[in-house]
C-alpha cells in the first residue's frame, strides 16, 4: 500500500528554474500568513500561473484517484532555524465552523532549495476519533526528508508531519537575530494537496494574481512553453 513516496529530479530543468525564480521574486509577501494563503486549482483546468503548470506536470507522478477533483496549493517559506510543528493537513475552515476533520487524499511537497538543517518529518500516525489522540500512540515507522532542489515527496493525506529544525540552527538563528542577510534566508517549498472535495474559503481561495503576482504565467510564450 502506498504511504510515502520520494522522487528526485521530478521536473525538467527549465520549468523548475522558472518556478524557483518566481517564488524568490515573491520574497516575503504575506510571509507571516504563508501557511494560510492557499489556492484552489481544479484538475484539468487551464493553468493560471507557474505553480498550476507545475501541478499538471506532477499529476502523473502522484496518480490521484478518479475521485480527485482538484488540488490546494500554497508556498512554504520558513526562516532559518524555524520549525513547523507536527500537524495534520485538513480543511481548516470546515473544522473551525463544524468541528469536522477532513483530510486530503494525498499531500505532497516539492522542495525548491537546499536546506539540510530543517528536514520534513512524516510519521505513520493518524488522528484518533476523539480528534486529540494519535493512532498508534507510538509511530511504527516514518520518514525524514531533507530538502533537496527538485525533490518531491508524496504521502497519504492523513499522516502526522512537520518541519523539525536542528538544535544547532535554532541556536545560531537566535544569535543572528536581526542580521538582515540571515533573515532573508528562507526554506522554500511548494505544497500541493489532492482533494476529492474543495476545501472551504477563506483559507482556500481562487488565484487571481492579486496575491503572489510574480507567479503569473503571462510570459509563458517567451519561454517556448517547455
- Asked if residue 54 is part of any domain, the answer here is yes
> pLDDT tens digits for 32-52?
999 999 999 999 899 999 999
Q: What are the Cα distances from residue 193, in Å, to 77, 103, 106, 120?
A: 17, 9, 6, 16
Name the packing angle between helices 13-26 and 50-62 (round to 10°): 130
- Asked if residue 30 is part of any domain, the answer here is yes
The domain in which residue 41 lies consists of 4-197+212-217
The domain that holds 43 is classified in CATH as: 2.60.120.620
> pLDDT tens digits for 132-184?
999 999 999 999 999 999 999 999 999 999 999 998 888 888 877 655 454 46
What is the secondary structure of the chain as a DSSP string? ---EEEESS-S-HHHHHHHHHHHHHHTTTTGGGGGG-EEEEETTSPP-BHHHHHHHHHHHHH---TT--EEEEEEEEEETT--EEEE----HHHHHHH------SEEEEEE-S--TTS-EEEES-EE-TTSSSEESSS-S-EEEE---TT-EEEEETT-EEEE---HHHHHHHHHTTT-HHHHT-EEEEEEEEEESSPPPTTTEE---SSSSGGGB-TTGGGGTT-
Distance between CA 38 and CA 136 in Å, rounded? 30
Q: What are the Cα distances from residue 221, in Å, to 5, 123, 224, 225, 226?
A: 33, 42, 5, 6, 9
- Asked if residue 225 is part of any domain, the answer here is no
pLDDT of residue 168: 82
Given a contact cutoff of 8 angstroms between Cβ atoms, the answer to whether 66 and 25 are in contact is no
Distance between CA 215 and CA 50 in Å, rounded? 6
Overall domain count for the chain = 1
Distance between CA 7 and CA 4 in Å, rounded? 10
- Asked if residue 223 is part of any domain, the answer here is no
Q: Is the pTM of this model over 0.75?
A: yes
Q: Which is higher by pLDDT, 69 or 44?
A: 69
Neighbouring CB atoms inside 10 A of 169's CB total 17
Length of the chain: 226
> pLDDT tens digits for 179-214?
545 446 899 999 999 999 999 999 999 999 999 999
Torsion sign across C-alpha atoms 27, 30, 35, 37? negative
- Asked if residue 206 is part of any domain, the answer here is no
- Asked if residue 127 is part of any domain, the answer here is yes
Q: Quick one: pLDDT band at residue 219, thresholds 50, 70, 90?
A: low
Distance between CA 60 and CA 18 in Å, rounded? 20
- Asked if residue 191 is part of any domain, the answer here is yes
- Asked if residue 68 is part of any domain, the answer here is yes
Helix (H, G, I), strand (E, B) or coil at 195: strand
Amino acid at each position: 500500500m502506498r504511504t510515502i513516496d520520494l522522487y528526485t529530479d521530478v521536473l525538467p530543468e527549465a520549468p523548475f528554474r522558472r518556478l524557483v525564480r518566481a517564488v524568490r521574486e515573491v520574497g516575503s509577501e504575506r510571509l507571516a500568513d504563508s501557511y494560510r494563503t492557499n489556492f484552489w486549482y481544479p484538475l484539468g483546468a487551464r493553468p493560471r500561473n507557474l505553480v498550476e503548470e507545475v501541478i499538471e506536470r506532477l499529476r502523473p507522478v502522484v496518480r490521484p484517484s478518479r475521485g480527485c477533483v482538484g488540488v490546494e496549493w500554497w508556498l512554504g517559506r520558513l526562516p532559518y532555524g524555524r520549525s513547523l510543528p507536527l500537524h495534520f493537513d485538513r480543511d481548516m475552515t470546515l473544522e473551525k465552523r463544524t468541528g469536522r476533520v477532513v483530510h486530503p487524499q494525498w499531500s505532497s511537497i516539492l522542495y525548491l532549495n537546499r536546506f539540510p538543517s530543517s528536514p520534513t518529518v512524516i510519521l505513520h500516525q493518524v488522528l484518533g476519533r476523539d480528534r486529540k489522540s494519535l493512532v498508534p500512540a507510538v509511530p511504527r515507522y516514518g520518514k525524514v526528508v531533507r530538502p533537496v532542489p527538485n525533490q518531491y515527496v508524496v504521502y497519504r493525506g492523513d499522516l502526522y508531519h512537520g518541519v523539525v529544525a536542528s538544535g544547532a540552527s535554532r541556536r545560531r538563528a537566535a544569535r543572528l537575530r536581526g542580521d538582515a542577510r540571515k533573515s532573508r534566508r528562507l526554506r522554500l517549498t511548494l505544497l500541493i494537496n489532492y482533494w476529492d472535495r474543495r476545501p472551504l474559503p477563506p483559507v482556500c481561495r481562487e488565484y487571481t494574481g492579486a496575491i503572489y503576482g510574480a507567479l503569473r504565467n503571462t510570459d509563458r510564450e517567451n519561454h517556448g512553453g517547455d
